[in-house]
């Protein structure tokens, strides 16, 4: 030791207060790191927890859960009940890049080689959160491309007249089915809810000609409807007259049958009486015939076996 040098009592001693603060800070950091693994899943979400990239919980239900903190563990939240939408045939203009919407996106070729502009909105939701997250980089773009393909295929099988008039509902159903078929083939865990056609119109260059054709078609349908209404009126009137004639003929037939039946029954009764008493019955029939032939004349019957004539009026009075 050099002369004049004296060792301090604190020299070489560790700073005890700094060491304690460092340990407390480290403990708090570890605690914060461990507690960062606690996560909350809301009621409209499903949590997908991963560990070293592998999925360990594919459907964490709403509530509090725990996972190993980042970077060992990761969490993705997916809103499975949320209705997502993509547009087909049009896009919003980009104001930042000053880029206008591309009008060619709406043009499709029909089955009879006519060009039509179609716009639609596709609604979908998540059916499988894991496939939605990891089977596609941009699920919305996949849905858009599948819907465009389905639209192209469905329009190519539809004539322009049907597409322009009554085939719109059928077209939406076809696009829905074809889009879902493609998404199932891609296995991206997406369920298509609806395909809503927003606009079906001819290109601007031929819009006037299409309007003329549409007006002529409407006139033709109007004339056809009027002709059908007149035909139905004439047919109904003829059917009514035919039924009336048939009813009259049937009534006349029944009347003739009833008269003939009555005459037959009456003749049968007269014949039965004639068979029992021929002379009396014959005389009676003769008298009745004379009364019917000469209703307003006074009739007297002279019997050769009697001395005085018989007045029919007296006979009727006595009867």
Q: Are residues 115 and 194 in the same domain?
A: yes
Q: Are residues 192 and 157 in the same domain?
A: yes
**Domain CATH for 172:** 3.30.479.30
Tokens coding 170: 């059928």
Q: List the chain pLDDT tens, one digit each, 319 residues.
A: 444 444 444 444 455 567 877 877 777 777 777 666 666 677 777 877 787 777 777 776 776 766 767 777 677 778 888 889 998 887 655 555 555 556 677 788 888 778 888 889 999 999 888 888 888 889 899 999 999 999 999 998 888 878 877 788 899 999 999 999 999 999 999 999 999 988 888 877 776 777 777 778 778 888 999 899 989 889 988 988 899 899 989 999 999 999 999 888 888 888 787 777 777 777 777 777 777 777 777 766 666 665 555 554 544 444 4
pTM: 0.55
Domain endpoint, select from 166, 201, 236: 201
Q: Are residues 124 and 189 in the same domain?
A: yes
Range of the domain at 183: 84-93+100-201
pLDDT at residue number 306: 56
Beta-carbon count within 10 A of 118 CB? 25
Domain endpoint, select from 201, 230, 265: 201
Q: Are residues 185 and 89 in the same domain?
A: yes
Residue 4 placed within a domain? no
pLDDT at residue number 196: 92
Residue 215 placed within a domain? no
Q: Are residues 51 and 140 in the same domain?
A: no
Q: Are residues 31 and 128 in the same domain?
A: no
């Amino acid at each position: 030791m050099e002369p004049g040098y004296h060792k301090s009592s604190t020299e070489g001693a560790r700073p005890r207060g700094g060491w304690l603060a460092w340990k407390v800070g480290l403990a708090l950091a570890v605690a914060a790191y461990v507690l960062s693994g606690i996560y909350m899943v809301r009621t409209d979400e499903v949590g997908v927890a991963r560990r070293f990239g592998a999925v360990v919980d594919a459907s964490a239900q709403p509530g509090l859960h725990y996972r190993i903190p980042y970077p060992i563990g990761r969490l993705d939240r997916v809103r499975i009940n949320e209705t997502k939408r993509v547009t087909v045939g049009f896009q919003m203009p980009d104001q930042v890049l000053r880029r206008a919407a591309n009008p060619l996106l709406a043009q499709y070729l029909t089955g009879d080689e006519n060009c039509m502009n179609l716009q639609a909105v596709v609604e979908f939701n998540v059916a499988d959160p894991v496939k939605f997250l990891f089977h596609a980089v941009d699920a919305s773009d996949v849905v858009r491309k599948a819907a465009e393909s389905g639209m192209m295929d469905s329009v190519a099988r539809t004539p322009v007249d049907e597409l322009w008039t009554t085939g719109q509902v059928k077209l939406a159903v076809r696009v829905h089915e074809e889009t879902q078929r493609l998404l199932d083939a891609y296995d991206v865990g997406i369920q298509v809810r609806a395909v809503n056609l927003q606009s079906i119109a001819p290109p601007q260059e031929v819009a006037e000609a299409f309007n003329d054709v549409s007006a002529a078609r409407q006139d033709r349908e109007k004339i056809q409807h009027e002709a059908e209404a007149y035909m139905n009126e004439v047919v109904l009137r003829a059917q009514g007259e035919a039924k009336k004639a048939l009813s009259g003929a049937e009534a006349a037939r029944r009347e003739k049958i009833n008269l003939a039946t009555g005459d037959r029954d009456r003749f049968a009764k007269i014949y039965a009486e004639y068979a029992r008493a021929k002379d009396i019955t014959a005389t009676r029939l003769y008298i009745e015939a004379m009364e019917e032939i000469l209703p307003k004349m006074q009739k007297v019957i002279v019997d050769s076996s009697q001395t005085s004539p018989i007045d029919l009026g007296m006979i009727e009075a006595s009867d």
